[in-house]
């Protein structure tokens, strides 16, 4: 029995802890933007990270079949081209107040690259500036 426990301990991987950092509420007081700094990946000018936007209660309703639901949070997997000031969304899930969620199908990703205009103050701009300036510990 001890061998089984030892083998399980040795073969089980350790999960990396998520470390959400708030970027505040840039451009919109109803939405707070976060980035997971433990998951930022760097490949030259290309950086990929997880982010989430937490919405104030009862400020944004869902769309389509979810129009009668309030959105509480939207999570993204996002890639930035820091050299060309572009981003694209690689995955997205919307969470609702009733505990349900909706994810776009994998076939919808990655989204096309979108230029982030200089000086434009939004959660995307703040996120890009933070992720592109971030250096590993």
Question: What CATH number belongs to 18-133?
Answer: 2.40.128.710
What are the phi and psi torsion angles at 98 (to 5°)? -80, 5
Residues 99-137: pLDDT tens digits?
999 999 999 998 999 998 776 667 788 899 999 999 987
Q: Which two tokens stand for residue 85?
A: 């000031």
Q: What is the pLDDT of residues 39-48, one digit of tens each?
A: 999 999 999 9
Q: Torsion over CA of 112, 93, 116 and 79, rounded to 10 degrees?
A: -70
**Residue-range domain boundaries for the chain:** 18-133
């Amino acid at each position: 029995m001890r061998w089984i426990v030892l083998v399980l301990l040795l073969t089980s991987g350790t999960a990396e802890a998520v470390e959400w950092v708030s970027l505040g509420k840039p451009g919109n007081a109803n939405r707070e933007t976060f980035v997971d700094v433990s998951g930022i990946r760097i490949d030259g000018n290309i950086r990929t990270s997880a982010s989430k936007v937490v919405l104030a209660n009862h400020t944004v309703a869902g769309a389509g079949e979810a129009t009668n639901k309030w959105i509480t949070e939207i999570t993204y997997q996002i890639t930035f081209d820091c050299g060309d000031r572009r981003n694209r969304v690689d995955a997205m899930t919307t969470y609702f107040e009733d505990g349900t969620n909706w994810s776009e199908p994998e076939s919808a990703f990655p989204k096309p690259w979108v230029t982030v205009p200089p000086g434009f103050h939004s959660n995307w701009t703040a996120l890009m500036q933070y992720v592109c300036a971030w250096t590993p510990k």
